[in-house]
Amino acid sequence: MEIKEFIDKKPYVIAGPCSAESEEQILQIAKELKGTADVFRAGVWKPRTHPNSFKGIGKDALKWMQQAQLQTGMKVSTEVATAKHVELCLDAGIDMLWIGARTTVNPFYVQEIAEALKGVDIPVFVKNPIHPEIGLWLGAFERLNKSGVTQIAAIHRGFYSYEKLAFRNDPKWELPIRLREEVRDLSIICDPSHISGNASLIEDVSQTAMDLNMDGLMIETHNKPSKALSDANQQILPIDLENILNNLILRDAKLRDEAFKKELFAYRSQIDFLDTKIIDLLNDRKNIVEDIGHFKNKNKLTIFQIERWFDILKNRKENAKSLGIDEQMIAELFELIHKYSILTQTKIMR
């Protein structure tokens, strides 16, 4: 995949309202963000869950974006979901585009957008699909790249979860890390607004993104957040954005000197040793699981014993709590271990 770098600083900041609501609103926010944000963003078309929700102004709002461009000198960006959106944005001179999570999930829509961009190497950001499917994310980059788009970056906005979480969308930080392993040169922007769903959590999520060496932030910023026509809870004032950025701690991703390298290597060696022990213990556990499988098969017992599973989960979580370890992490770990224990016993009983 051919990717040209267009993000030239860290953190690269994209900010502006969730939706373009009026020309006055757009110009006021853009002027307040000048000098703080690198790119001004606003949703012109809004893909909404409910038909009666505010769906955006549409193409008329592109004129407001042009004015923001002219009056502030900032680059401007908006979301596209169809080939027609792309055509209108190109005609209006929009500098950058992004593909939303609901569009990334559908290869047909992404292909239409990619074909509309043939011959136009404009920067395009691709948000992760709603559900944690990294293949769809990668597929979107590939489709754009095959159409000649080389200025591509990812936006990590979190993933839908059926569980009740502190966040609107589950960050699943391991997935953007995996994405970077798959496409080394790809820049990744974090969207703390959609991950948080709550203005009070945006600073913490932003810091985590920087700690994980992401390249920038897309933060929804409004002049009157409580009055916003969409996603009011997750938008902040321009002054709040400035404070968040000033408070960010930007850590060095590279090892600075020999003494630092040696100390970090010592810690990592301890982790490697413990990880090896964990794998050895898991192998010992697997051997016992196989013995249990043979025993159940011989005595015509069912594989899944629900009372035993509930007992395992309860005891392991209590043990974790007593040691000050995150109970949810332990629950997820043992759910995975239990899943493969069931699969191991199933093979034996075939």
pLDDT of residue 256: 62
Same domain, 171 and 262: no
Structure tokens at 142: 């590939």
Structure tokens at 243: 């404070």
pLDDT of residue 253: 66
**SS3 of 330, please?**
helix
Q: What are phi and psi of 159, to 5 degrees?
A: -130, 145
- Find the CATH number of the domain harbouring 306: 1.20.59.10
- Find the CATH number of the domain harbouring 175: 3.20.20.70
Same domain, 209 and 293: no
Domain-terminating residue out of 224, 247, 270 = 247
Domain-terminating residue out of 247, 281, 315 = 247
What pLDDT tens digit does each residue of the chain (350 aa) get? 889 999 989 999 999 999 999 999 999 999 999 999 999 999 999 876 777 778 889 999 999 999 999 999 999 999 999 999 999 999 999 999 999 999 999 999 999 999 999 999 999 999 999 999 999 999 999 999 999 999 999 999 999 988 777 899 999 999 999 999 999 899 999 999 999 999 999 999 999 999 999 999 999 999 999 999 999 999 999 999 999 999 999 887 666 677 777 888 889 999 999 999 999 999 999 999 999 999 988 888 888 888 889 999 999 999 999 999 999 999 999 999 999 999 999 988 77
Write the CB contacts of 289 (distance below 8 Å, at least 6 apart in sequence).
Answer: 341, 344, 345
From CA 66, how far away is CA 289, in angstroms rounded? 65
Same domain, 307 and 342: yes
Structural domain for 76, as ranges: 12-247
From CA 140, how far away is CA 132, in angstroms rounded? 14
From CA 223, how far away is CA 38, in angstroms rounded? 18
Number of H helices, E strands in the chain: 13, 8
From CA 185, how far away is CA 201, in angstroms rounded? 29
Same domain, 19 and 162: yes
Helices 23-33 and 61-72 meet at what angle, rounded to 10?
Answer: 30
* Residue 79: C-alpha distances to residues 82, 125, 146, 331 (Å): 10, 9, 20, 38
pLDDT of residue 273: 94
Residue 186 CB neighbour total at 10 angstroms: 19
Amino acid sitting at position 25? Q
pLDDT of residue 252: 73
Same domain, 242 and 270: no
From CA 16, how far away is CA 169, in angstroms rounded? 20
Structure tokens at 59: 């193409």
pLDDT of residue 77: 98
From CA 89, how far away is CA 267, in angstroms rounded? 51
Listed in order, strand segments (DSSP E) in the chain are: 12-16, 39-41, 75-80, 96-99, 124-127, 152-156, 187-190, 216-220
Same domain, 214 and 270: no
Q: What are phi and psi of 156, to 5 degrees?
A: -90, 110
> 218's torsion region: left (phi>0), alpha (psi -120 to 50) or beta?
beta
pLDDT of residue 53: 77
Same domain, 195 and 299: no
In angstroms, how far is CA 244 from the centroid of its own chain?
19
Residue with the two structure tokens 């829509």: 109
Counted domains in the chain: 2
Residue 5 lies in a domain: no
